[in-house]
Each structure stands twice: as structure tokens, then as C-alpha cells.
Structure 1
Amino acid sequence: MLSYYFKLAWLSLRKTPLLSVLMVSTIALGIAAAMVTYTVSYMMTKDPLPAKSDRLFTVQLSSWGPDQPYLMVDGQEEIPAMVSYRDVRGLKAAAKAKQETAIGLFKIMSRAEEQNRRDAQMRMIRTTHNDFFSMFQVPFLYGNAWSEQDDSSGNPVVVITKALNDELFGGANSVGRHIVLGESLMQIVGVMDDWFPIPRFYYLSSQAYQDPEALFVPLEYQINQQIFSHNDVTWSCWQDVEDVDFSVFIASDCIWLFYWAELESAEDRADYMDFINAYVDEQKSAGRFARENLSRLFTIDEYLRWAEVLSNENDMAVWLAFAFLLACLLNCMSLMMTKFYGKGSEIGLRRAVGASRNDICWQFLCEAFLIGILGGVLGLIFAQLGLQLIQQIFTYLNVTIMQMDLKIMLMTLILSVVTSVLFGLWPIYRAAQIQPSSQLKSL
């Protein structure tokens, strides 16, 4: 019987093509606007490492000197998000976490060994420890991370991204080959597979939606080579060290590195915080850290919210988009009312030959269902076009933000069908109340 109702519903849509197209298009526009906004918001705010996000912490120390200008937030002095190289050495040496890594950056000309010097490009180089790759679940296409020996000695080794490997080596296994950074010959030990943590939580919040850097090298390599891009990376000092020797710079209290620690479990947070407080007290005794101890640990989510990467503005945009969807659905309901009432004579005739009110309701429910399905499919097409347009406008954002996964696609179709049926209930109810006698008189 249900197939018969769907056949009647399809014939009804074909009899009124203009009205049917208007209803389908109205739902499609509302669904597309809502799901484009939801997709971008969802991709921008999802947990980038759900398997361990409650066990990863970024360390922030109260390391400002006595002459550093106060930065007040909500009536309380703010502390830096980054730490100094001195503190990286101290925290690493204590080895209180399961895994830990510092994260820095520098800028330099780079090329494949086989390329000419004129083909070299200026690139940002990520400096870190080998724990970075396992801590942040970086997949490898070829090879793996560098060794502990490479870490401690600062050997000239490099891990590159799949995109750079495709660009320089045509996608072939490049492990063992070389890349030139400045004047240094770096051996490739690993090629990362596709890896785009969104948001990119481990460094500056301003870079949260950009692609990862193409090259990763040991932090100690940067120290050994005395490379620091004063004009290209974020750093801060309460002492004037702009023109001093590099060895003086890294021995100072200048902050320029992020520090992340992975603990065995989320419950170990308090113990690790006790260690941080003890470390701060030790530094105070040594004449450093002159301010009040406001040091803290942030989980990934806490850091992103503190850095205002995740904000209420995303939620507001989603609400506004769904308000537009509501307006579209109300318009569609009005069009359904017009259409179903326009079929009064047909309803009267069907009732006269034995059709019950339930039969009429089922026919129109099937029609509302078909409108929802068609609106959902068309809405998906509109949404994909909208996401591609956003991608063209915001070219600096990672493309994965503007991509619907299967879950969101299914959600789009279900939302379209459910809302179409729900907003069709009132027109269906009104149509089922039509009296056959009053309609037959007009035939």
C-alpha cells in the first residue's frame, strides 16, 4: 500500500512542477545554508586528538621578569603561553611526563639536493623533539621519526610532509635522500602521511587553521646551527637581547618555545602540577621568576578556549543559519498549504469513493517525504558549492575545514526529510479535514 501512496505523491509533484520546484528549492536553500555553517563550525571546533586530548597538556610558566610590563586579563596578571630554552632543558631533564616536547620555528631557504640553488624556496621549518610524532599521532608514509641520539645531538636529519615529498620527489620513497637547508645537507628519515589536526592546537592560535609546516627538524639542530628568525617568529624578552650573541639569547629568559607534556592518565595532572610548582620555586630560589606563581597546565580544549580559537561566535553563526532554515521551512509549509488546499476536489472525490482520512494523510505524508528527499539532495549540491566558494575565498585555511564527511552528509538528508515532514503535518491535517460533500458540489 505504501508504494501506491508514493506513486500518487510522485504524480502529484509532477502535476504541479512550478510549485514542486519552489518547495524543493526553498528547503534546499535553507538546508544548504545551515549545513555549510554547521560543517565549518564542526570542523573548526572538533577534538583534534580525541584518543588522548585529556592527557596532553601545554605548560605555561610565570617566567616574566620584574621589569616586564603587566598584562592584565579580567583583573589578573596574564602569563606567557611560551617558555624559554632554559626551561625546556630543565623540564626535559626532569623527565616527569610520559612524553614531552618543545616546539619552535625558524625560516630558511630549502631545496632538494638535486635542485639548483635558484630553485630553493623560503620555508618555515618546525623544530621539535622526536616525541612530537608519537604524542600527536603523526602517521608515516615512509620511514619514521628521528632517534633519541639525533634528538640529543641535534643531527642534520629531517622529516617531511607527504605534500613536499610529492613536490620534490614525485611521491617516491625519499628516505635516505637529502634536502638542503641553508647550507646544511639534511638526511630525510621519514615522510609523514596526510596529517591535518584541526584545529592545529600545538602552536600559536593564529595558525590554528593552517597546514602544518613541510619540514620538521630536531630542536637541538637549530641550537647547534644558531638559527633564529627574529623577524619571522613570535618571541618576547624582558631583557634587551636583540643584538646579542645567540648563546646569550638561548641562555636568557626569552620565551619562544611551546612545551607539551603527555601524562599516563588525566588523573596525573595534579602530580605534574605539583612538579611544575616545585620547579618554579626552585627557579625563584635561583633568582629567576620574580612574579607571583601563576603557572598552569592546559589541556588541548582548555588551551584553545583560552586562546579564543574556540569561541561563542561559531555557535552564534550556526544558530543564525538554522534560523534561516526555519524561515525557509515556514515558507515551504505555506506552499504546501496552498498546494494541498488546491487539491480539494481530488480529495473530495477520493473520499467519496471510499478513501479514509488516514489514506489522504498517508498520501500527503509521502509527498512531504519526497519533497524532503529531493530538497536534501539539492541542498547537498548547494552546500558543496558553498563550501568550494568559501575555500576559494579563504585560501589560507586548511581545505579539510570545508569538507563534509559521510556523517554530516547523512545528517543533511535526515534533517531535510524530518523537517519537511514535520512542517508538512499542519497542511496535511488541514487537507484531511476537507469535507467531500462541499467539494463534490463544485465538480
Structure 2
Amino acid sequence: MEQFLYYLKVSWISIKRAPLPYALTIFILSLGLGVFFANATFYYQLNSDPLPHKSDKLFFPMTLMVPYECADCPPPRVLSYANVQKLSQSDIPTAKVGMYSADGYLRLDTKQAPTPVSIRMTQPDFFRMFEVPLLHGSIWADDKARLELILAKQTAEKMFGHSDVVGEKILLDDRHFTVVAVLDDWQMLPRLYDANNRAHLSEADQVYMPLETGYDFNYMSNRQSQTFDDTDYRQLATQGRTGALNQLQFWVQLDTEAQQQAYRQFMSNLVADEQKAGRHPSAPNNQLVPMRNIVSYFGGESADIKAFALVTLLFLGVCLFNASHLSLNRYISNQYEFSLRRALGASRGQLQQQMLADVLLMATFCCAGGLLIAWGGVSLLNFLWPANSLFGRWDLTLLLLLLVLTFTMSYLVTLYPSLRASFGGLNQQLKE
């Protein structure tokens, strides 16, 4: 340790001897790292897996069960209530859930100004499948309609001033509901369970209502709905349950390969039976899309983030080249000092340890500068693309990545100069 501290001291003296070239090297490398890290932050978060231990077990089934004939047509992105009920008949999945989102207004009483909220009409398995944490109360016991709501923690605190509000009454669109549970802080990012129309970039919903209740009160989807017949969307409670009004998303949990194969066969048999009954004349086109592929399947990947990530990677390469050139010039100016140390008996290994001390100092300064520039870059991107602002955040993995990248870039910057100083001809170096 004492020897390493000596190497750090020597490096610091070398920096003070020529501070401007060293500062310029640090600035160029920090700029490249900061810009790259700012864009890598969004790319990493947008492409992260929110349930890495489970995403390969969650699937989005889709079928071309529509009342018209179509060749080579993709299945609708959303399903009708009747088709969701048919897909739910199987006991093969470990869990299954139909859902959609709608808009509403929440308030404590008629005297209070209404607060706009996003409502998720869903079923009890939703909270288990997507590992939604519960803070107070309990989830509905079954799929039946009931005048009960589940609130997000922030919504409960905003409306009541505290989170423990189980049993309290609240008005949703002028209908009285009872709060039966409050969720803990939860924000699945990206929100892959709702990837249609790039909704995976949105925040979690504030209110959760039983699916059957949503249909009873004629709540329409705020994402996407399609009608393939003369179903009146204003009569969800009746026609919406029987007609070809598509607005539901449906997920199943299939834990094993055997379950997945069995459910695919179930879907094939279901479509065959429907065709025999004359309800769906189109050729079968069943899809069982895994959760980790749902964004790409719906075409919701951000091309802008990919393009910026590539451009900033090239920019980092340019910065690395220029920083290496400046570093080489600095080492050439100090070449006599290294040569003299070699002449006095310093081994090449000891010279490399001196270089590692230089790398450590450079990495420390570059890390501080890179983080500062990256923070500014993330703030700028949040301003330019507000829809992606949820993903402008850092976690421990990203910070460790920056540290490793900074140390690696700092080492590459000093690699050639250190090799030239350690392995060049001693006599020639002393003459120079």
C-alpha cells in the first residue's frame, strides 16, 4: 500500500507539471463517457426485464377469432369479452387475467373537485402474476362484480392524506365505492403487461376495479377498442359481453414447457371448434407471445433511443482516440523521467504499476465529470422526450457499469503510452 501511495504521489506531481494537457484529456474523455452514459441510461431502462425470473412464463395469447374472412391477417391486438371467456376456460395456466384501462374522476364527496385518474379493470390474478406489492387490505377473492376499489399508495395519500384507508368510502364518477386494499410503492418499468400503443412507457394506474364492474358501468378502454359488428359500445354491460367489441388484453402464466405446448393445443382446438360452428371463417392464426417479446411484437421499440445510442457510441470512440493522442503527447514529454527510472533499476512491472496509478487518478476525475455530464444529458432528454422521462433514472447496476467503463477507457487511453515507455529502447529514450 505504501508503494502504491508513492505511485499516486508521483502521478499527482506529473499532473501539476502539465495541468492543461491533462485537464483537456479528462474533459474529452468525460464528455464522451457522459454523453454515452446519458443515452445508455434510457436504452438500458427501456430494454430491461422487470420480471427477469418470471418473464419467460408469462404469455399474451392472441387468436384471429373475428366474424369475417381474412387471408394472412394478424390477430387483433385486443380481444372481445366473449373470446377472453373462451380462452379462460382452460385450467392449464397457473394464472390468467383479462384487463383493460379506462379514465375516470375520483373524489371523496360531491363538494370536492374531481381528480382525473387512470383505472385498470382487472382480475385478482393480475396482482399475483405481475408481483404487485400490497400495503394494506386484501385483493378481491374472485372475479365477480363488486363496488370495491384498490388504490395506489400515492392516490390514497393524495385523496385521504394517509395510506391506511381500507374500509373508507370514495366517489368514482359519482358512484360510491369501498376501498378494500392499498398497493405499496410499485412501478413496473417498462410496463410490459400493457404494451399496446406504446403504453409500456406510461406510469402505473392509480385505481384498480373488478373487470366485471367495469363492464357493468360501461367503461370504455382508453387505449384501443375495435368493433367487428354492430355492437353498441355504450352498452358494454349487455352487448359488450356478447358482441365482437374488442378492447381486452389477456395474459396467462405457463410455468413449464409442457403447459405452453398444452395451451397452444388448447388454442388450436378452440379455433377449430369455433370454425365448425361457423363463427370465425378466417384461417387460424394463433400467437402465444412471451412477455419479453411483447414490445417488439407490437412494434413499440423506440428507434430514436437506438439511433442515439449508436451515435453516442461512435462519439465515445472519437473521444477515446483524441484523449489517447493527448495522453501520448504527455507521456512523450515525460519520457526522460521514465527512462531515468529504468536506468536506475526500475522493472517494467513497476513502471506498469505507476501507469495503473495514473489510470486510477484519471478514472476518478473522468467518473466525476462523466456523471455530471450524464446528469445534464438525462435532464435534457427528459425535457425533449417527456414520454421517456420515467426511464431517466439510475440504479446500482448502471452506476457500476459506468465505473467499469470509465476505468476501461482510462486504461485504453494510457495503454499505448505506457507500453512505449516500458518497452522502448532505453538508450534511444535517454538520447531523446
Does the 8 Å contact 1:157/1:189 carry over to 2? yes
- For residue 56 of structure 1, the aligned residue among 52, 55, 58 is 58
Shift of 1:110: 1.7
Aligned to 1:127, what secondary structure does the other structure show? Answer: strand
Does the 8 Å contact 2:168/2:179 carry over to 1? yes
* Residue equivalent to 1:411: 401
- For residue 430 of structure 1, the aligned residue among 408, 417, 420 is 420
Question: Which residue identity does 1:87 align to in structure 2?
Answer: N
- For residue 19 of structure 1, the aligned residue among 18, 21, 35 is 21
Q: Which deviates more, 211-220 or 173-182?
A: 173-182
| TM score, norm. by length of structure 1 | 0.89
Pair 1:111 & 2:101 matched: no
Report the CA distance shift for 1:429/1:264 in structure 2 as closer, same or farther (over 3 A).
closer
C-alpha separation in 2, matches of 1:55 and 1:348: 62
- What is the CA RMSD across the aligned residues, in angstroms? 2.5
Aligned to 1:54, what secondary structure does the other structure show? Answer: helix
Question: Which residue identity does 1:173 align to in structure 2?
Answer: D
- For residue 89 of structure 1, the aligned residue among 85, 89, 94 is 85
Pair 1:299 & 2:290 matched: yes
- Aligned pairs for 1:18-417 within 5 A: 18-66=20-68, 76-113=72-109, 116-117=111-112, 119-148=113-142, 151-152=143-144, 154-203=145-194, 204-228=196-220, 232-242=222-232, 245-246=235-236, 247-310=238-301, 315-397=306-388, 399=390, 401-417=391-407
Summarize deviations over 1:213-257 as a string: whole Å, max 9, x none. 11010011112223336xx44111122335774422331112110
Summarize deviations over 1:273-308 as a string: whole Å, max 9, x none. 111111222222333111111122111023222112
Shift of 1:387: 1.8
Question: Which residue identity does 1:235 align to in structure 2?
Answer: S
Does the 8 Å contact 1:348/1:435 carry over to 2? no
Does the 8 Å contact 1:56/1:260 carry over to 2? yes
C-alpha separation in 1, matches of 2:414 and 2:370: 18
Shift of 1:208: 0.9
Summarize deviations over 1:158-181 as a string: whole Å, max 9, x none. 111122122112233111112211
Report the CA distance shift for 1:243/1:321 in structure 2 as closer, same or farther (over 3 A).
closer
Aligned to 2:248, what secondary structure does the other structure show? Answer: strand
Question: Which residue identity does 2:122 align to in structure 1?
Answer: T
Report the CA distance shift for 1:425/1:243 in structure 2 as closer, same or farther (over 3 A).
closer
Aligned to 1:272, what secondary structure does the other structure show? Answer: helix
C-alpha separation in 2, matches of 1:29 and 1:38: 14
- Identity value in percent: 25
- For residue 10 of structure 1, the aligned residue among 12, 16, 22 is 12
Report the CA distance shift for 1:389/1:141 in structure 2 as closer, same or farther (over 3 A).
farther
Unpaired segments ≥5 residues, structure 2: none
Unpaired segments ≥5 residues, structure 1: none
Aligned to 1:124, what secondary structure does the other structure show? Answer: strand
Summarize deviations over 1:119-149 as a string: whole Å, max 9, x none. 102323110111110011000122231221x
Summarize deviations over 1:336-379 as a string: whole Å, max 9, x none. 11111112343354445444555444323421331122212321
Aligned to 1:397, what secondary structure does the other structure show? Answer: helix
Does the 8 Å contact 2:218/2:235 carry over to 1? no
Shift of 1:9: 0.7
Question: Which residue identity does 2:216 align to in structure 1?
Answer: N
C-alpha separation in 2, matches of 1:91 and 1:439: 79
Aligned to 2:300, what secondary structure does the other structure show? Answer: coil
Question: Which residue identity does 1:222 align to in structure 2?
Answer: G
